């Protein structure tokens, strides 16, 4: 289907990204550690639907209550507490998590709310023991740039993650409370994405911002949902994307599904689950609009300008910015790729030498090659050839005591246990000996080009000559020979 057809259909897509932060839990002091061992105890509960503050029972809550399911919660003494069990009021917010969320908001060009109310969001699937999720709307009106233009970031919230499913049966769901309370940011775009292929671009751009901050990595640490509708059809929420690559296909198939429903006179919105093949399956009705109400156990949160100013000075660089800077420093795409995991060392060594390509090879290429080659220093390359050792070698290069062509050889000696100073004492062929060798080569192999003679010299002396000096000697001798022939 062409982009023009999607314009006619009035396609609107909004993206929601939930990303765990790599800090302790949000409203207690338990560590954010996921467990594989057997739980210390289990708590059983059932969901009871009650009327909200407007006097109505939420339709999604009623649907879940009528299923009469039992919820079991697996708990641990050392990383679940009475807060997770909803038997104790929440503690004050984890400040480290708040600061990371604010950094993400600033990187997404958002405006920060100066006063924030902690809210309770109704949760009806049993994944929160309290029946609600605590959430704070901390920022709004941001944007990201994509190849298709700017996309508005409607809101950014900081909230506690839900418990994780261990087993799901028809009449029972087993949850583990180790994940409940881990901080996560919820980033919501405006429904201004109008092309399926644009969804992936937006997800990747936001992902780049998240990876620049202190977030958890691995399967389950990020969850992505889409809100999709075409003209005449209500919003459909599609949950459960782990990777952005399936999003475009899912949107295309969802448009086809909504078109088919409109032909049958249906237009109702609902919540659906994303499947690996791009299709979706029904989960539950869309929750009602009155899901949020204030948290009465916590005071208003005031975000001071002083904190925002501090965070602006601490903002990390995005990967795209770093790559651009490394390109300007003369690194190729391949060198950039191997340098990125060692960026801190690279920047440290760049203060010693301006030879960025040499530094990149030292930290990103040669250490790995030498470790693979060495039997003696397996697993010790990081210590024996640490940044301080490499800096000393670079200082010798800057002083002209070690040639660029000799650096790898020096690193190898150090890795094998030789002292840095001694390793840098490279024995070289004298200029007189070099001149004699060039004269011999010219006599035995007349008529070769300069680079051919250089290749023969480099092969014989293997790093024991200064390439620039050797090249000049070859050039001088060949010029002299040519002059003699002309005379």
One digit per residue, pLDDT tens: the chain, 487 residues? 555 689 999 999 999 999 999 999 999 999 999 999 999 999 998 876 666 666 676 676 676 666 778 999 999 999 999 999 999 999 999 999 999 999 999 999 999 999 999 999 888 788 999 889 999 999 999 999 988 889 999 999 999 999 999 999 888 999 999 999 999 999 999 999 999 999 999 999 999 999 999 999 988 899 999 999 999 999 999 998 878 889 999 999 999 999 999 999 999 999 999 999 999 999 988 876 657 889 999 999 999 999 999 999 999 999 999 999 999 999 999 999 999 999 999 999 999 999 999 999 999 999 999 888 877 767 788 888 999 999 999 999 998 888 888 899 899 989 888 899 998 887 777 677 778 877 888 888 887 887 888 888 777 776 667 677 777 888 878 888 777 776 5
Residue 277 contacts residue 71 (beta carbons within 8 Å): no
Q: Is residue 165 part of a domain?
A: yes
Shared domain for 388 and 448, answered yes or no, is: no
Domain boundary among 306, 325, 345: 306
Shared domain for 52 and 199, answered yes or no, is: yes
Q: Is residue 180 part of a domain?
A: yes
Shared domain for 278 and 321, answered yes or no, is: no
Domain boundary among 306, 328, 354: 306
Q: Give the other-Cβ count within 10 Å of 139's Cβ.
A: 26
Shared domain for 271 and 322, answered yes or no, is: no
Shared domain for 302 and 326, answered yes or no, is: no
Shared domain for 345 and 199, answered yes or no, is: no
CA distance 267 to 233: 5
Q: Is residue 447 part of a domain?
A: yes
Neighbouring-strand partners of residue 70: 46, 172
Look at phi and psi of residue 463 and say left if phi exceeds 0, alpha if psi is from -120 to 50, else beta: left
CA distance 90 to 86: 9
Shared domain for 100 and 216, answered yes or no, is: yes
Where do the H-state alpha helices sit in 230-342? 247-263, 305-314, 319-328, 333-339
Shared domain for 417 and 288, answered yes or no, is: no
Shared domain for 452 and 409, answered yes or no, is: no
Shared domain for 449 and 403, answered yes or no, is: no
Q: Is residue 335 part of a domain?
A: yes
Q: Is residue 294 part of a domain?
A: yes
Shared domain for 148 and 277, answered yes or no, is: yes
Q: Is residue 56 part of a domain?
A: yes
Exposed/middle/buried for residue 479 (C-beta within 10 Å: 0-12, 13-18, 19+): exposed
State the residue range of the domain holding 462. 431-486
The strand order across the sheet containing 172-176 reads 41-46, 70-75, 172-176, 164-168
Q: Is residue 324 part of a domain?
A: yes
CA distance 187 to 263: 34
Structural domains counted in the chain: 3
Shared domain for 282 and 151, answered yes or no, is: yes
Q: Is residue 311 part of a domain?
A: no
């Amino acid at each position: 289907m062409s982009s023009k057809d999607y314009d006619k259909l009035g396609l609107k897509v909004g993206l929601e990204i939930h990303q765990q932060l790599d800090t302790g839990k949000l409203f207690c002091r338990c560590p954010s550690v996921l467990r594989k061992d057997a739980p210390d105890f289990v708590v059983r509960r059932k969901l009871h639907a009650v009327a909200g503050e407007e006097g109505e029972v939420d339709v999604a809550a009623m649907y879940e209550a009528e299923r009469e399911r039992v919820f079991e919660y697996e708990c641990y003494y050392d990383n679940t507490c009475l807060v997770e069990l909803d038997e104790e009021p929440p503690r004050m917010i984890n400040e480290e998590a708040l600061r990371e969320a604010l950094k993400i908001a600033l990187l997404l060009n958002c405006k920060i709310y100066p006063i924030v109310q902690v809210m309770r969001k109704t949760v009806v699937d049993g994944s929160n023991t309290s029946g609600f999720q605590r959430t704070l709307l901390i920022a709004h009106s941001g944007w990201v740039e994509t190849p298709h233009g700017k996309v508005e970031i409607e809101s950014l919230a900081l909230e506690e993650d839900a418990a994780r499913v261990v087993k799901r049966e028809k009449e029972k769901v087993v949850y583990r409370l180790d994940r409940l309370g881990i901080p996560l940011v919820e980033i919501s775009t405006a429904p201004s994405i109008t092309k399926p292929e644009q969804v992936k671009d937006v997800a990747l751009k936001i992902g780049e911002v998240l990876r620049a901050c202190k977030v958890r990595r691995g399967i389950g640490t990020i969850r992505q949902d889409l809100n999709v509708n075409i003209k005449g059809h209500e919003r459909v929420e599609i949950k459960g994307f782990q990777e952005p690559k399936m999003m475009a296909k899912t949107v295309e198939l969802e448009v086809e599904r909504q078109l088919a429903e409109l032909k049958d006179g249906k237009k109702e919105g609902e919540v659906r689950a994303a499947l690996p093949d791009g299709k979706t399956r029904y989960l539950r009705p869309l929750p009602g609009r009155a899901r949020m109400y204030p948290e009465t156990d916590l005071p208003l949160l005031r975000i001071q300008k002083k904190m925002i100013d501090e965070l602006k000075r601490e903002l990390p660089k995005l990967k795209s910015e770093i790559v651009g800077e490394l390109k300007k420093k003369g690194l190729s795409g391949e060198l950039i790729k191997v340098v990125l995991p060692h960026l801190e060392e690279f920047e440290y060594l760049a203060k010693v030498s301006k030879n960025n390509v040499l530094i990149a090879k030292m930290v990103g290429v040669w250490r790995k090659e030498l470790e693979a080659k060495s039997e003696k220093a397996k697993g010790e390359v990081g210590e024996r050839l640490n940044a301080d050792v490499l800096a000393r070698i670079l200082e010798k290069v800057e002083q002209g005591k070690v040639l660029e062509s000799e650096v790898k050889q020096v690193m190898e000696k150090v890795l094998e246990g030789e002292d840095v100073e001694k390793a840098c004492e490279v024995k070289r062929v004298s200029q007189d000996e070099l001149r004699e060798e060039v004269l011999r080569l010219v006599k035995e192999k007349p008529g070769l080009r300069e680079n051919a003679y250089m290749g023969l010299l480099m092969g014989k002396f293997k790093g024991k000559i200064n390439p620039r000096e050797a090249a000049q000697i070859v050039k001088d001798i060949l010029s002299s020979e040519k002059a003699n022939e002309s005379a």
